[in-house]
Amino acid sequence: MTYYHILGIPQTATLAEIKKAYRQKAKEWHPDLNHTPGARQKFIEVNEAYEFLVRLRSQPPVTARRHRSRQQPKDPYHEWLEKERNKARARAAAEARKKYEEFKRSPLYKTSSFLYTFYDYLTFAVGIFMVLAAWVGLVININPVDGITAAAVISALLVSVIGVVFIIFSFSSIREKKKLYK
């Protein structure tokens, strides 16, 4: 598989087309966004292809002078190609490893994690409050003459359903986060 095939571009692609294809593929295969088993490896391949093609477009290889010795000279282009490919692969693997780990240690990640967790617990509490308030309000506002009206029951049910939806979504989000942090 060629680097052009990995990025899904023709061999005549310009530098701008290479960059555009890279952004799309990197977003598609980034391990933080794509949780399929081969996503990390595919992301490394996309980074490797991008880096190699950008270097190829911006720095064409230098051709070596012909050797006059009897020893068969190595093809300088293929040597350069292999060397660049190995460097790109090593850098892509290092980038895939370190970016998320570094991001997890950043103040931005810690702050956003705290805020999302706080938001989840707050949503959970609001959901419980909505359910309790709907039914307590229904019981408190019982009219001694008419009893419980259908409109009061329907409104209590609707508010309760919305509260339960809040509870379910916040609980599932809290549970998902606890799985991530284990």
Return the pLDDT at 132. 95
Query: What tens digit of pLDDT does each residue of 82-133 get?
Result: 888 888 888 777 777 766 677 777 787 788 888 888 999 999 999 999 999 9
- The pTM of the full predicted model, rounded to 2 decimals, is 0.44
- Cβ neighbours of residue 117 closer than 8 Å, sequence gap 6 or more: 174, 177
Return the pLDDT at 72. 58
62 pLDDT exceeds 70?
no
9 pLDDT exceeds 70?
yes
161 pLDDT exceeds 90?
yes
Span 45-49, average pLDDT: 87
Q: What is the mean pLDDT of the chain?
A: 82
Give the CA dihedral 17, 22, 25, 29, nearest 10 degrees: 180
Higher pLDDT, 93 or 46: 46
Return the pLDDT at 128. 96
Burial class of residue 117, CB neighbours in 10 A (0-12, 13-18, 19+): middle
Quickly state the pLDDT bin for 60 (edges 50, 70, 90): low
Quickly state the pLDDT bin for 61 (edges 50, 70, 90): low
80 pLDDT exceeds 90?
no
Q: Is 147 helix (H, G, I), strand (E, B) or coil?
A: strand
Span 22-41, average pLDDT: 86
Q: Is 149 left (phi over 0), alpha (psi -120 to 50) or beta?
A: beta
